[in-house]
């Protein structure tokens, strides 16, 4: 199930655990997921509420937290609280200096740029607006973010 944190908060208030008994995955996006909502959702329905990131111009999903994979001695981390996860397959992201568009090292905040085959071609009938948000094939999100050493994205603000 995908929805906004506001939607999931409404589910906590109005839905019974029985109504969500077959639910296996829940991902919140479009607004910041605050940990009290995630905690209450888990307590009420027994399902981790994970956080992702999307924008209409990208078709829309960009990144998502998933459950960690554990198989024998192998552990692949898929979830890091406070982040919006890893980019999904086929999506590239980079964080750049908003003035120079030079890539920034892991941990540094800057402008988030996103690229994928699902990216929009442009805004219909609005070529000037399109030029403002596309640069060398990258979509300029307008979000301030950082990438950590493991490739997890953290959205911190908006330009």
Note the pTM of the prediction, 2 decimals. Answer: 0.88
State which residues of the chain have pLDDT below 50.
none
Domains in the chain: ranges and CATH: 48-158 (2.30.38.10)
Give pLDDT tens digits for 61-96. 999 999 999 999 998 899 999 999 999 999 999 999
Q: Encoding tokens for residue 54?
A: 């999307």
Position 60 scores a pLDDT of 86
**How many Å apart are CA 28 and CA 36, to the nearest integer?**
13
């Amino acid at each position: 199930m995908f929805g906004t944190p506001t939607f999931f908060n409404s589910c906590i208030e109005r839905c019974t655990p029985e109504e969500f008994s077959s639910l296996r995955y829940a991902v919140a996006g479009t607004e910041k997921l605050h940990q009290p909502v995630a905690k209450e959702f888990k307590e009420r329905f027994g399902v981790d509420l994970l956080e992702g990131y999307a924008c209409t111009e990208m078709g829309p999903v960009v990144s998502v937290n998933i459950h960690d994979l554990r198989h024998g001695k192998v552990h692949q981390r898929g979830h890091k609280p406070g982040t919006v996860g890893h980019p999904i397959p086929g999506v590239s992201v980079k964080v750049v200096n908003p003035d120079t568009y030079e890539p920034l090292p892991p941990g540094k905040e800057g402008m988030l740029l996103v690229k994928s085959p699902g990216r929009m071609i442009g805004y219909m009938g609005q070529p000037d607006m399109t030029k403002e948000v596309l640069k060398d094939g990258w979509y300029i999100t307008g979000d301030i973010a950082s990438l950590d050493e493991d490739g997890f994205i953290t959205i911190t603000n908006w330009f």
